[in-house]
Amino acid sequence: MTTDHVTVPEDGEKITLADEETGELNVPANPIIPIIHGDGIGTDVGPAAQQVLDAAAEATGRSIAWMRVHAGESAREKYDENLPQETVDAIREHRVAIKGPLTTPVGAGFRSLNVALRKKLDLFANVRPTYYLEGVPSPVTDPEEMDMVTFRENTEDVYAGIEWEAGSEEVQQAKEFVEEEMGIDDIIHDGPVGIGVKPITEFGSKRLIREAIDYALANGRDTVTLVHKGNIMKFTEGAFRDWGYELAEEEYGEDVITEDQLWDEHDGDQPEGTVVVNDRIADNMLQQVLTRTDEYDVVATMNLNGDYFSDAAGAQIGGLGIAPGINRGHGRALAEPVHGSAPKYAGEDKVNPTAMILSGREMLEYLGWSDAADLVRDAVEETIASGRVTYDLHRQIEGGEKLATSEFADAVVENIEDLA
């Protein structure tokens, strides 16, 4: 079937929903996977990731039928718009997809296409695993202590985009409402003002925290930490924390205990098979991720906190060039690297595709292809540990071999074939 600018491959089968309640998927051995290469360096890292993921699938007796869809620059060329409905519909229908970076202007222009995709597809959990790969230069002494997964709420908080521009009629109405109707007249200075609203709901908080706890239980993780600024924003971020503890008590029984219960009832000895839910103030957590790295496992937090925190964690294992991510919803997922589009390097076959490749690994995990996912991680680590790296890592190590983007993908594929 062919639409305006999307051709559905004939050699693949559609992923379908197996269980409406749980979101469990039926995944064929040859799934159709939509892919957006992305803007800037997406033209380099997108094909590199495809090559590696194809090799991992083939090595485990499967195949991927790729379906090119468009957003950002390529969409403007084909559709004269940034995010065509055809692209959204294709990802919605085929359920699991991967995308490269998309450019978001600062201060003006269209809102983030990344955020738009997450909201349109209700991909409420932005999941960012952070783990160390041998051979990657790091600014910390013991980067191997980092093995953390951040669950970042994707649809609320400041990323909901509810704000009004200084000087607009709308911002004046909002200012008058706050001052006159709500009786708050001592916090807004005279002169131009921009006003934003920060919504945090019980529904959005609980489904995000549920996803984090379920992940921890399924993957043998010890803790889920609720990161918030509830000491200051008591009715938004403080509510997030409270709803998290409420959820744990109401839905998980003895499988989940609080940090207080751990010490009051178990003298600090965590019962086998349980997950401990605790909470930390956001600014303190940014310190503890450096000073007590190995004490944290899974983090659940709101959108802005999660953006700051996951980037800070990523710095400890070598930076955003190797940091993967995946957006998860109910029976639907869109993998994407954490880094941006770096347009000045576009088309130079130069940049590091590791983050895009490892985001693809997260996609394979979501499909239930753990064997293929493990091959990808092991092959990437073997390639980097051997000193065969792209320019960004090569300039930080001695005695390595500098590879182009495409050459790095070739090297990873060679290691997949050796490891399979």
Annotated binding-site members:
103, 112, 114, 118, 128, 152, 307, 339-345, 352, 391, 395
Closest CA to 347 of 44, 71, 36, 37: 44
Q: b/e string for 280-295 if b means 16 or more Cβ within 10 A?
A: bbbeebbebbeeebee
The span from the CA of 256 to the CA of 361, in Å, is 28
Closest CA to 102 of 128, 75, 130, 79: 75
Beta pairing class for 195-196 and 163-164? antiparallel
Cβ distance 100 to 346 under 8 Å?
no
Cite the active site residues: 159, 229, 283, 307
Binding residues for D-threo-isocitrate are: 112, 114, 118, 128, 152
Cβ distance 173 to 218 under 8 Å?
no
Binding residues for Mg(2+) are: 307
How buried is 55 (Cβ within 10 angstroms: 0-12 exposed, 13-18 middle, 19+ buried)? buried
